[in-house]
Structure 1
Amino acid sequence: MAGRKPQRRREFGTVRKLASGRWQARYLGPDGERHTAPETFETRSDAQDWLNLIRADIERNHWRDPDAGAVNFEKYALRWMQERGLAPTTLDRYDGLLRLHILPTFGGKDLDEITPPSVRTWRAERLKATGATTVAKSYRLLKAILQTAVDDDLLRSNPCRIKGAGKEEADERPTATIEQVFDLADAMGPRWRLMVLLGAFASLRPEELAELRRHSVDIDECSLRVTQASPELTNGKRVTGDPKTRAGKRTVYLPDFMLPELRRHLQWFAEKEPDGLLFVGEKGAPFRRSTFGRKWRKARTKVGMPKNFRFYDLRHTGNTLAADTGAKLKDLMVRAGQSSERAQLIYQHSTAKHQRRLAQGIDAEVRAQLREAAATQQSVHEA
């Protein structure tokens, strides 16, 4: 029996010669829409080769709508943030990074106009204009947004491909001496003295201090119960909620020398109701970061501390002091309210007894250093 003639493969797409003499390629895509090649070709063969590449992509399920990436980056990024269900503080931080560092360069571009070279150029320019930590955070945000665009089939690949660009390598933060902590507390004045001491000797975060209330204080145990935090957003509004980490809800035992400080503050400055705030401004309103910041900068200058010493560095100071007592890692993490999935088993067995012992160690160290400082001053006066 005579063999059948092999069937010719059905032609894919069409090519036609334009008045210019060049060739145009068109095809019907899987989406049912007719697509035209983004450029014309010198020969019919070149146009057909392009169609063959498109056909191969379709057969391998690699085809992507060539117009899919024609979406404005700014609109996509803003929708990305709204759809993430982000915490108010995270949304506030991302908004700042986007507005100040990303949109000025990419806001007017479509997604498919953002290329690896343009990302490299943007990052290099940002590093000249701002700190490396901010650039790393901005890069991570840009990469996350564009990765979602890849997942949405709007981009074939993510143009953020710089190895290590999202890694933060923050400088070691400065610490204060015990004497400097007390000097700062004195310089801040009676109303804010306790806040400085708690920032250092209780290792509390600023947003945790802002939400401490009268009922948070246990005078008999010389301790504080941290249950909520109230970070301040860029617009000045405070958002009250759970602490930064799951381990943030904790009891912090204080060194014994803090007891008179607690009593004095409760008597003179804290709101009188059981749920009254521990720290309020001179006019009775919750303290504002801007107002407190001005006082802090003046106190820092008066004491002679470096300009890069932030209020948050008191927490670092306290953590360092606690570590110097020889406490175990799990006890240090509980006191500081630090948490991670990997560290969960490390700190979960830290007991109140361990925490009291840690506080006693801090108390002994502070008293010893204060005695040493006083003796040094006395010898100077007598000389």
Structure 2
Amino acid sequence: MAHIEDRWFTPQHDDDGKLVLNARGKPVMARTTLYGTGLRYRVCYIGPDGRERKKSFPDRAKQAAEAFMATVEADKHRGTFIDPAAGCMLFGEFAETWLRTRTYDKSTMESLEVRVRKHILPFFGSRPLSSIKPSAVAEWDSELAGVLAQDTRSVAFAYLRMILTAAVDDERIAKNPCSAKSVKQPRPVERRVIPWTYDDVSAIRANLLPRYRPVVDLGGGCGMRQGEIFGLGVDDLDLVGGWVHVRRQVKRVYSRLVFGLPKNDKDRRVPLPASIAAALRAHLAEFPTVSVTLPWEDPFGDERVTVPLVFVTSRRGAINRSHFNSKVWHPALAAVGIPHTRATGVHALRHFYASTLLDAGENVRALATYLGHADPGFTLRIYTHLMPSSEERTRTAIDSLFGVPLRAA
């Protein structure tokens, strides 16, 4: 049973070992050798695991010790007990363990580690987990607001929440301070997609080097991501049947190029229009494929994959997106008067593809499949404003049914 020890005083006994009582029948207390030094009151209790635990309080804090003891016993009864010592673990130590146990692919892990070590650990790393309160989270986010874009803040906040959720699951803290009502999570900026016109896309294509022009065709005509285009092998093309099998991408992990699965770790087949197939035939005739060997997913792993790539550099190597963007894509944008921003990267070709299909009446589920989205709802949220207006379709449908306007009876 839990009890409180007074480390400064102890009951006095006579020579026969009997308890000495005062006139009111209470024990006479004698000073111990610890009198006046250190914390006075010590709560002793048994944890749910059967181990004895202790927590000390200073002089004149007996009520606080009694309140703590009552809380411990109540938490044990409710099954919500958290060992106070568990929360003494430093956030930095816990976060490093959390990072080591993640099972994301290497490129995701690289981004995760950078965010945690650059934006979270400098503020929370030296703090005990139990000391991190909602006010500290709000202060941290306020400091980031002055130096980071809101999208980046939102990602950093999500990672902090994930780490502290793991601490709750490990019973090191009782609740996640990121979930407090007083903490407002930064939300990503919602950007309305404004697709390019066909003339824009054609102008950009014309200003690329001939060896890179079909990149525009596959991005704008098949909705492929940049890395997926760079990872396209000749064996992935069915030029006769009219299909592209998207089953890998080229990505950069720890500054090294690797082959890896497409986003969401899922391959897909995309319809290949005859016009795009013709452009690819002409490209392959002028620029034959080059077999390129790269690590698979992990740049430091032993697995290697060789692919006869459709697109390579002039030096016959896999294309690094950073070099391509700065040396090839941005000059082409500048030539047609389009500034290079986050919204005008190669990814913008996917928006052109989506807007073209929606305008032609393609359904959202099929579009999501072609784009490689895991959830059609995500596709709908991005492109719902591009879908043709339903008002005129409603009028046409009713008029086609009744044939003529209804007359009053």
Fold match (TM-score > 0.5): yes
Please list the CA deviations of residues 292-343 of structure 1 after superposition, one character each: whole Å capped at 9, or x if unmatched.
Answer: 1212122222221132211111111211111111112233223222233879
Amino acid at match of 2:269: R
Matched, 1:197 2:232: no
Distance in 1 of aligned mates of 2:258 and 2:290: 21
What's the secondary structure of 2:165's corresponding residue? helix
Please list the CA deviations of residues 23-56 of structure 1 after superposition, one character each: whole Å capped at 9, or x if unmatched.
Answer: 423314325244223x414154554344333333
Write out aligned runs for 1:343-358 (5 A): none
> Which residue matches 1:373?
none
Q: How many residues align?
A: 333
Please list the CA deviations of residues 49-71 of structure 1 after superposition, one character each: whole Å capped at 9, or x if unmatched.
Answer: 44333333334333322111122
Amino acid at match of 1:266: L
* Structure 2 contact 134–177 (Cα < 8 Å) conserved: yes
Matched, 1:94 2:112: yes
Matched, 1:332 2:367: yes
Which 10-residue stretch deviates more, 226-235 or 149-158? 226-235
> Which residue matches 1:312?
347
> Which residue matches 2:99?
81
What's the secondary structure of 1:299's corresponding residue? helix
Matched, 1:249 2:268: yes
How far off its partner does 1:177 sit?
A: 1.5
Distance in 1 of aligned mates of 2:253 and 2:201: 27
Distance in 2 of aligned mates of 1:135 and 1:44: 44
> Which residue matches 1:111?
129
State percent identity of aligned pairs.
Answer: 24
Larger % of helix: which? 1
What's the secondary structure of 1:292's corresponding residue? helix
How far off its partner does 1:139 sit?
A: 1.0
How far off its partner does 1:194 sit?
A: 0.7
Amino acid at match of 1:313: A
Distance in 1 of aligned mates of 2:88 and 2:358: 54
2:207 paired residue among 166, 187, 190? 187
Distance in 2 of aligned mates of 1:74 and 1:319: 43
> Which residue matches 1:350?
none
> Which residue matches 2:315?
283
Relative distance call for 1:281 and 1:221 in structure 2 (3 A) is: same
What's the secondary structure of 2:188's corresponding residue? coil
Distance in 2 of aligned mates of 1:190 and 1:215: 22
How far off its partner does 1:99 sit?
A: 2.4
> Which residue matches 1:135?
153
Please list the CA deviations of residues 255-311 of structure 1 after superposition, one character each: whole Å capped at 9, or x if unmatched.
Answer: x33233211211222415695101111100101122112121222222211322111
What's the secondary structure of 1:64's corresponding residue? coil
> Which residue matches 1:303?
336
What's the secondary structure of 2:3's corresponding residue? coil
Write out aligned runs for 1:1-383 (5 A): 12-17=3-8, 18-19=35-36, 23-30=40-47, 32-37=51-56, 39-42=57-60, 44-161=62-179, 165=185, 167-241=187-261, 243-245=262-264, 248-254=267-273, 256-271=274-289, 275-294=307-326, 295-308=328-341, 309-340=344-375
TM-score between both structures, scaled by the size of structure 2: 0.73
How far off its partner does 1:159 sit?
A: 1.0
Amino acid at match of 2:133: T
Distance in 1 of aligned mates of 2:307 and 2:68: 72
Distance in 2 of aligned mates of 1:57 and 1:213: 60
Larger % of strand: which? 2
Q: Which has the higher contact order (CA 8 A, sep 6+)?
A: 1
Distance in 2 of aligned mates of 1:250 and 1:92: 29
TM-score between both structures, scaled by the size of structure 1: 0.78
Q: For the pair shown, which has the larger CA radius of gyration, 1 or 2?
A: 2
Distance in 2 of aligned mates of 1:189 and 1:110: 56
Large movers: runs of 4+ above 6 Å: none
* Structure 2 contact 168–175 (Cα < 8 Å) conserved: yes
